[in-house]
Amino acid sequence: MSFWIEHYQGRPKLLVVDDQPINIRIINELFRADCDMHMATHGEQAIATSKTLQPDLILLDIMMEGMDGLEVCRRLKSDSTTAAIPVIFITAKSEENDEALGLELGAVDYISKPLNSAIVRARVKTHLTLKLQNDYLKGLASLDGLTGIPNRRAFDVRLTQAWNQACREGGTLSLMMIDIDYFKRYNDHFGHLLGDQCLRQVAETIAQSVNRPYDMAARFGGEEFVCILPDTHLQGALTLAKKIQHSISQLAIAHPASAVSEQLTLSIGIASLMPRIGSEPTELIALADKQLYQAKNNGRNQVHCPPD
């Protein structure tokens, strides 16, 4: 089934949920050569695994002891972290009414028992391909057209997610706002084509500096960039900011029109909060923006943050 595998970054993740070991073994044999296979034998385990694993597709048996597949699907679709994961129900022929209800709940398809290998493979191929295409289109919509890093829309979504998670778990969330010093002068001096090239270089450098998978570097607008840093205290964010400044200095991009250096420089503002239920992520944006203003007001080419 390698016809779609090569288009995934890594192998597709398939979660099989069934309380009958024989069904799990059958599906595992069909896909283990091409997919990363994961198993759950009851509803609570399926929900927990789905949240942490974020599989590309779930094969979910309807009839299980305890929480049945319909309830599992209902809970998955009501949770924003798992709602987009496609679900294929596995049903017995006597469960036609359950099939209809399952589709109403948001399942994308169903497969009848006894399992037919050719049908199972065809259905899984179809829905993994659709998932890949959907992810690709979502990815395009969330990327900045010039720099190729996440855009303002993607930033807003990710910040809200990180904020809500920190509210639930009590973590610290840091935000870094970055501005290219005297970029208008750069554009006036070199022209917009070289200005666009400069923006791409800066964006790539910032994105490469943000290494953890749950962090995000994004273009905020114009010559401004942002970095979302969950579970990061002020000192950790400050260390990263200095790393980014150093990486930009290593590029040695000439900027003869700058008032602070002969090379391109950045001003960076940092803020950290422990989000509270009932508060809004705009609070963190405002704090980071205030720190950026202080960095620019104090002469630019520097990092500014509140006292630790």
- Which residues have a Cβ under 8 Å from the Cβ of 6 and sit 6 or more positions away? none
Q: Which residue has the tokens 């009501």?
A: 78
Instruction: Report the alpha-carbon distance of residue 163 to residue 142 in Å, rounded.
Output: 19
The residue annotated as part of the active site, out of 29, 169, 204, 223, is 223
The pairing of strands 216-221 and 266-273 is: unpaired
State the maximum Cα–Cα separation within the chain, in Å, rounded to a whole number. Answer: 77
224 is catalytic: no
Rounded to the nearest 5°, which phi and psi values hold at 277?
A: -60, 130
Q: Are 217 and 225 in contact (CB under 8 A)?
A: yes
DSSP state of 300: S
Distances 260 to 69, 119, 201, 300, 302 between C-alpha atoms, Å: 63, 67, 20, 7, 10
* CA-based torsion, 10, 11, 17, 20: positive or negative: negative
Closest CA to 215 of 200, 223, 225: 225
Write the DSSP string, 170-206.
Answer: T--EEEEEEEETTHHHHHHHH-HHHHHHHHHHHHHHH
Closest CA to 91 of 56, 115, 72: 115
Q: Catalytic residue positions? A: 223
